[in-house]
Amino acid sequence: MAQAQTAEHTALANGFSLLIDGAAVTGTGERLDVVNPATGEVFAHCQGASRAELDRAVAAARRAFPAWSARSFEDRTLFVKRMADILRANAGPLAELLTREQGKPLSQARDEINRAASQSEGMTQIPIRNELITDDAERRIELRYVPLGVAGIITPWNAPINLAAGPLTSALYTGNTVVLKPSPYTPLCTLRIGELIRDVFPPGVVNVLAGGDALGQWMTEHPGIDKISFTGSVATGKKVMASAAGTLKRITLELGGNDAAIVLEDVDPKVVAPKLFFAGFVNSGQVCMAVKRIYAHEKIYDALCAALAEEARKWVVGDGLDPATKLGPIQNRMQYDKVMDLLEDTRRQGARFLAGGDRPARPGYFMNPTLVTDVDENSRIVREEQFGPIVPVLKFTDVEDAIRRANDTRYGLSGSVWSNDIERATAIAAKLEVGTAWVNQHRTTAANVPFGGAKESGMGRVYSELGLKSYMEPRVVSVMKRL
C-alpha cells in the first residue's frame, strides 16, 4: 500500500506545472502538499512560483497585452469558446481531480465544470458598446471602454474551477491578459486547466501560478498588475485592498456572507424545506452565498424545523468519489477546526440540536449536517459566517422584526424570502441590505446578472455588463468640431 501511495504521489507531482508565457514551467518556489480532505492525507504536491517567476509571468502578460487587446470581441470570443469546449471534453478527469482535492461529490464536481463552461460562453454574448454622450453641431463626446492591462486573479478553495472561470473569462473577453493564482489548498485543477489551454491562447495571454499567501501578496503589490480580482474571506479581502492601494489597482472583491432566509407563514414547510436545506448545505455549506440563517414565522416554525431535520437525515455524508455521497468533507483542516470550534461554542450556549452535532466515525474532515435552534441572536452561530454544514433556525412573529434581524450584520452578500404571496415577498426582499435578494429561490446566478456584495461582503460586481466593465477603463473622447 505504501509503495502504491508513493507511486501515486510521484505521478501526480510530476503531472502539474506552472504556465508562464505559453510554456510549462516547474516552479522553484515553495512546495505545496495537497491533502485529500476525505482522508486527511497528502495525495499530491506541486511546486509553487517564486517571486522571479511571478515577475516573468507579469512581463509575459504585459508583452502579450497590445496584440490581445487589439483583437475584436468576436475574435476573443472564439478563444473563450475553445476553452469552454476543452473544459467539457475533459470534464471526467477534471471532476475526479476536483473531488480529490476539494472533497465535493463527483456529480457536483461535474456540475461545476459544466457551469464554468456555460457561464464563460454566456459572458461572451454580452456586448460592450461605446456610448455616445453628445453629438451636435459643436461637439461629439463618446464614452469608450478600453481594457485595463494585466489582471491578477486570486481564487478560493470552495469552487476552484467555477470561481476561476468567471474572472478569467471576464478579463480575456474584455481584452486583458491574466496571471491566475488558485488557492494553495486546491491548486491542481487550475494548474491542469492551464496545461490544457496552453496552446489555445497566444503566449503570455494566460499565465497560471501556484503558491501560498506570499504569492498573493506579491501579486497585489506588483506594479505590473493593473487589476486584482479576489474571491475569499472578508478578512483576507481587506488585506488585498490595503495591499493593492499602494499602486491604486482596480479591484473586485467577492467576499463572505451571512445570508438570511425569511420564511413566511403561508408556505408549506414540507415543500420549502428541501430547497432551503440544499441552499444551506450543498458543498457542506462552503458557499459564500449559502443560506446561513433561517428566520421562520412562528406559525410554521415547528413544522419547518421538523421538515428540515427530516431532510438532514436523507443526506449521506462520505467520500465524494462514492456515488451515494451527497455531502463531502470540509475542505481543509484549518476550516474544519473553525467549524468544530463554532459547533462546541453553540453547544455550550445551550442550543437545541435538531439534527447532527457530531461527526462520522471515519478519517477526514467530516461533520454531519447540523441544524440548531434556541440560540441567541448575538451568539456566534448567528453573527459569524459558518462556512460549514451547520445552520441556525430562528423564530419571528413580526416580519419587520425579521427584516431588522436579517439586516443586523456586517455582511450583505445575498438573502431570500419564501412565500406564496409573490408581491408581499418581493416587497420584503427589496428591504434586505444585500447585493442580491431572491424570492422563492437562493444561490441562483446567471452570466447576464450582476452578482456581488453590499457592506463588508465585497466591492464591485461579477458577471453581466457591469462586471465585464470592471475590467475596463472608461475613457472619454471629446471632439470639438471646429477650431
Residue 294 belongs to a domain with what CATH number?
3.40.309.10
pLDDT score at 3: 39
pLDDT score at 2: 37
DSSP secondary structure of 160-189: TTHHHHHHHHHHHHTT-EEEEE--TTS-HH
pLDDT under 70: residue ranges of the chain: 1-15
Q: Tens digit of pLDDT for each residue in 288-306?
A: 999 999 999 999 999 999 9
Strands 370-373 and 390-396 come out as parallel
Claim to verify: residue 401 and residue 464 sit in the same structural domain: no
382: cell is: 448567528
Instruction: Specify if 480 maps to a domain.
Output: no
pLDDT score at 287: 97
Instruction: Specify if 345 maps to a domain.
Output: yes
Domain carrying residue 161: 2-255+457-475
Claim to verify: residue 125 and residue 264 sit in the same structural domain: no
Rounded Cα gap, residues 298 and 164, in angstroms: 42
Rounded Cα gap, residues 254 and 193, in angstroms: 22
The single-letter DSSP state of residue 432 is S
Is 339 buried (19+), middle (13-18) or exposed (0-12) by CB count in 10 A? buried
Claim to verify: residue 184 and residue 304 sit in the same structural domain: no
Is there a contact between 470 and 317 (Cβ–Cβ < 8 Å)?
no
Is there a contact between 263 and 297 (Cβ–Cβ < 8 Å)?
yes
- Number of folded domains that form the chain: 2
Give the residue numbers marked as catalytic: 254, 288
Cβ atoms within 10 Å, residue 175 = 22
Claim to verify: residue 41 and residue 161 sit in the same structural domain: yes
Claim to verify: residue 415 and residue 373 sit in the same structural domain: yes
Rounded Cα gap, residues 91 and 87, in angstroms: 6
Cα–Cα–Cα angle for 189, 449, 430, rounded to 5 degrees: 125
pLDDT score at 15: 64
Is there a contact between 456 and 433 (Cβ–Cβ < 8 Å)?
no
Claim to verify: residue 223 and residue 309 sit in the same structural domain: no
